[in-house]
């Protein structure tokens, strides 16, 4: 599915979020506080927005990318500036090809809901990050009632407008219907915190970046 929408993936990210997705990623990087010499991994990296933003925010840190989509990685290769480097691993979150404690931090932007096995994927994130390292997650989370939140405009946009615009631009209507359906059926942020603690993370904190939908979650490995 992601291979099919790769040519219009970045355009639709900007269009459907009204450009806020860049601001959300910048907030995620600041929350992670990458430092010179550290190694960071972006999982479900797609076309590399988070990794490239991380390199620009803290040039002294090294960023790696993991994603199962060859076509999105092809886009990443084309859009990576010549002076930057993002080593890539074609891999699912549930089977990352890295040694234990390989990274100082891990990020996932709007990708946890796409894990085939959420618990296994979160377990892998915990495995590859060092003790005391950080996990930063951007994700759509429904409320406890399975809706987007209290504001009816948010629900209307994500359930009616987003799938139609996505289908019109990408020519892949099922992909953008999937975006709305998978987000609505995903874990609440409170349940996400429980799953993160089971995987081996602690000090789980979250805050909304957009009312009723986008949440930024920060957790620490162990301790």
Predicted confidence (pLDDT) at residue 205 exceeds the cutoff of 80:
yes
In terms of pLDDT, which residue wins out, 151 or 116?
116
User: Tell me, which fold does domain 2-6+18-143+187-221 have in CATH?
Assistant: Rossmann fold (3.40.50)
Query: What is the distance between the alpha carbons of residues 149 and 169, in angstroms, rounded to a whole number?
Result: 27
pLDDT at residue number 180:
66
Residue 136 and residue 113 in contact, taking contact as beta carbons nearer than 8 Å: no
Query: Model-level pTM?
Result: 0.85
What residues form DSSP beta bridges with 88?
Answer: 65
Query: What is the distance between the alpha carbons of residues 170 and 127, in angstroms, rounded to a whole number?
Result: 36
Q: What angle do CA 177, 160, 4 make, to 5 degrees?
A: 30
Query: What is the distance between the alpha carbons of residues 102 and 91, in angstroms, rounded to a whole number?
Result: 16
pLDDT at residue number 70:
87
Nearest to 108 by CA among 85, 140, 144, 132: 140
Tell me which of 4-13, 49-58, 70-79 is least confident: 4-13
Query: What is the distance between the alpha carbons of residues 51 and 180, in angstroms, rounded to a whole number?
Result: 25
Q: CB 218: neighbour CB atoms within 10 A?
A: 19
pLDDT at residue number 203:
95
Token couple for 54: 């991380």
Residues 183-203 pLDDT 10s: 667 888 999 999 999 999 999
In terms of pLDDT, which residue wins out, 49 or 201?
201
Token couple for 94: 């549930």
Sequence-ordered alpha helix ranges (H) in the chain? 2-5, 9-16, 20-32, 49-57, 70-79, 118-128, 152-156, 162-170, 173-184, 189-199
Query: What is the distance between the alpha carbons of residues 121 and 143, in angstroms, rounded to a whole number?
Result: 22
Residues 153-168 pLDDT 10s: 566 666 666 666 656 5
Predicted confidence (pLDDT) at residue 30 exceeds the cutoff of 60:
yes
Tell me which of 69-73, 85-89, 191-195 is least confident: 69-73
| Domain boundaries of the chain, sorted by first residue | 2-6+18-143+187-221
Nearest to 221 by CA among 119, 127, 98, 110: 127
Average pLDDT over residues 54-66: 93
């Amino acid at each position: 599915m992601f291979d099919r929408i790769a040519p219009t993936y970045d355009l639709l990210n900007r269009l459907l979020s009204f450009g806020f997705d860049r601001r959300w990623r910048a907030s995620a990087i600041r929350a992670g506080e990458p430092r010179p010499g550290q190694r960071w991994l972006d999982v479900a990296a797609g076309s590399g927005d988070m990794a490239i933003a991380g390199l620009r925010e803290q040039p002294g840190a090294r960023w790696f990318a993991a994603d199962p989509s060859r076509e999105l990685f092809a886009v990443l290769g084309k859009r990576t500036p010549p002076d930057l480097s993002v080593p890539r691993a074609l891999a699912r979150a549930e089977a990352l090809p890295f040694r234990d404690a390989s990274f100082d931090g891990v990020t996932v932007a709007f990708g946890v809901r796409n894990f085939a096995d959420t618990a296994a994927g979160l377990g892998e994130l915990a495995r590859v990050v060092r003790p005391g390292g950080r996990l930063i997650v951007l994700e759509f989370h429904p409320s406890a009632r399975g809706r987007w939140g209290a504001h009816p405009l948010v629900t209307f946009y994500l359930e009616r407008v987003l799938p139609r615009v996505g289908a019109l631009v990408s020519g892949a209507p099922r992909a953008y219907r999937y975006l709305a359906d998978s987000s609505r059926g995903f874990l609440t942020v409170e349940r996400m915190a429980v799953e993160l603690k089971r995987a081996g993370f602690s000090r789980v904190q979250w805050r909304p970046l957009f009312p009723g939908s986008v949440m930024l979650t920060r957790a620490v490995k162990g301790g």
